[in-house]
Amino acid sequence: MIASRLSGFGISIFTEMSALAVQTGAINLGQGFPDEDGPAAVLEAAQAAIRNGHNQYAPLPGVPALREAISEHQRRFYGLEPEDVQVTMGATEAITAAILGLCEPDDEVLAFDPTYDSYGAAAKMTGARLVPVPLHPPAWTFDPDELRAAITPKTRAILVNSPHNPTGRVLTREELQTIADVTQEHDLIAITDEVYEHLVFDGLEHIPLATLPGMAERTLTISSLGKTFSVTGWKVGWATGPGALVAGVRAAKQFMTFAGATPFQHAGAAALRLADAWYAEFALELQAKRDRLSAGLTAAGLAVSKPQGTYFVNADVGTDAIAFARELPHRAGVVAIPTAVFSTRAQELAPYLRFAFCKRPAVIDRAARQLAAEDLES
């Protein structure tokens, strides 16, 4: 019964693996959501907003206090002065609304592959086509020639997710410059997914594509509260940038959800205004979790590549990771997601398995012990 536009997106591996986690009692390192609450002041701000009567429809562009806080955040961390700000139901709605509102049917949208799963569906709903540009393991870098070769007269936009899920790559200034050059040479628009913007490790820097010369006027920047503040269930996101691009998001969003949850938007304003030190500490905490899980995976005999950001580490399991992932809950009581499910290159990415490390240290340690107790190399 599902319309052909969406029928190719059946039950996802997330559903299958989460069911397996429940069925076997395994530790779920598949889906990327934290198992601890975000900052108490942010939780309290949401409760205060409800108590204080902020319980009716927000304006279409979003609650003014949050829109101001988003602008302030873009200025404080990146020196950006966005022309317009649209609040959305998470980054997911912003991305879907951007493609629906800015692309014509038959347009092509470039996206680095492996690719967050909603991008392909958003393109399909628009009648547009997502064109993959490979990120090659183990360093997860792209070949500028492959990027250029993917461009056709129908190419309208390039979607750039950095820090990147599922690989943990943070694009360098040089890589971003290549993307900026290509975007300008072919008069494309850039849509960026920066939901992990503050979850960057080892002193590396997240550089928004919009900060590169000539890019502010052609980049729609998207982010959300969920990952930064451990409130993935709140679904408060935003798109910022030139008025003409934000207008496309607003035009589509108006008829999808019109507005999101008002109290959480008020709380979002409080969250974004947390001190620089809070942001830095949270990234360090997550970095320690990355190291903890990576050490556990290494001790269990798996080869891990060090992620530069996000919630995720990829291990090379040396065999077909899909079969391996289906057995792992039974063998070691741990659930993870085969990286190839995010990719058009099943063959090249076959041995990679994605583990989420946004979990309490005790949970990570238990998973590590269970993995080490199994002989995973054989």
Ligand X SMILES: *Cc1c(COP(=O)(O)O)cnc(C)c1O
* Sites of contact with ligand X (CB under 6 A): 90-92, 116, 161, 165, 193, 195, 224, 226-227, 232, 235, 237
Q: Measuring CA to CA, how many Å separate 355 from each of 28, 258, 325?
A: 9, 35, 10
Q: Are strands 236-241 and 219-224 parallel, antiparallel or unpaired?
A: antiparallel
Give phi and psi for 290, each to the nearest 5.
-55, -50
d(CA 309, CA 205): 10
- Which 8-state DSSP code applies to residue 59? P
Please answer whether residues 134 and 345 qualify as being in contact, where contact means their C-beta atoms are separated by less than 8 angstroms. Answer: yes
User: Quick one: tokens of 100?
Assistant: 């629906």
- For residue 311, the minimal CB distance to ligand X (Å) is 8
- For residue 261, the minimal CB distance to ligand X (Å) is 13
- For residue 122, the minimal CB distance to ligand X (Å) is 11
With a CB cutoff of 8 Å and minimum separation 6, the contacts of 62 are 85, 86, 87, 238, 259, 260, 265
Task: Residue 221: name the closest of 71, 322, 370 by CA.
Answer: 71
- For residue 72, the minimal CB distance to ligand X (Å) is 19
Helix, strand or coil for residue 269? helix
Q: Which residue lies nearer to ligand X by CB, 221 or 370?
A: 221
Q: At what angle do helices 262-272 and 64-78 cross, to 10 degrees?
A: 30
- For residue 15, the minimal CB distance to ligand X (Å) is 16
Q: Which residue lies nearer to ligand X by CB, 134 or 309?
A: 309
> Which residue has its beta carbon closest to ligand X?
90
Helix, strand or coil for residue 305? strand
- For residue 272, the minimal CB distance to ligand X (Å) is 14
Give phi and psi for 180, each to the nearest 5.
-60, -45
Q: Which residue lies nearer to ligand X by CB, 225 or 245?
A: 225
- For residue 139, the minimal CB distance to ligand X (Å) is 19
Q: Are strands 312-316 and 84-89 parallel, antiparallel or unpaired?
A: unpaired
Task: Using CA atoms of 251, 255, 259, 260 in order, give the dihedral in degrees to the nearest 10.
Answer: -110
Q: Which residue lies nearer to ligand X by CB, 155 or 223?
A: 223
Q: Which residue lies nearer to ligand X by CB, 102 or 376?
A: 102
- For residue 195, the minimal CB distance to ligand X (Å) is 5
Q: Are strands 155-161 and 189-193 parallel, antiparallel or unpaired?
A: parallel
Q: Which residue lies nearer to ligand X by CB, 92 or 219?
A: 92
- For residue 92, the minimal CB distance to ligand X (Å) is 3
Q: Measuring CA to CA, how many Å separate 304 from each of 121, 296, 298, 307?
A: 30, 10, 7, 9
Q: What is the DSSP string of 157-188?
A: EEEEESSPTTT-----HHHHHHHHHHHHHTT-
- For residue 235, the minimal CB distance to ligand X (Å) is 6
Q: Which residue lies nearer to ligand X by CB, 259 or 371?
A: 259
d(CA 133, CA 86): 28
Q: Which residue lies nearer to ligand X by CB, 67 or 235?
A: 235
Q: Which residue lies nearer to ligand X by CB, 311 or 324?
A: 311
Task: Residue 329: name the closest of 269, 377, 370, 298 by CA.
Answer: 370
Q: Which residue lies nearer to ligand X by CB, 176 or 368?
A: 176
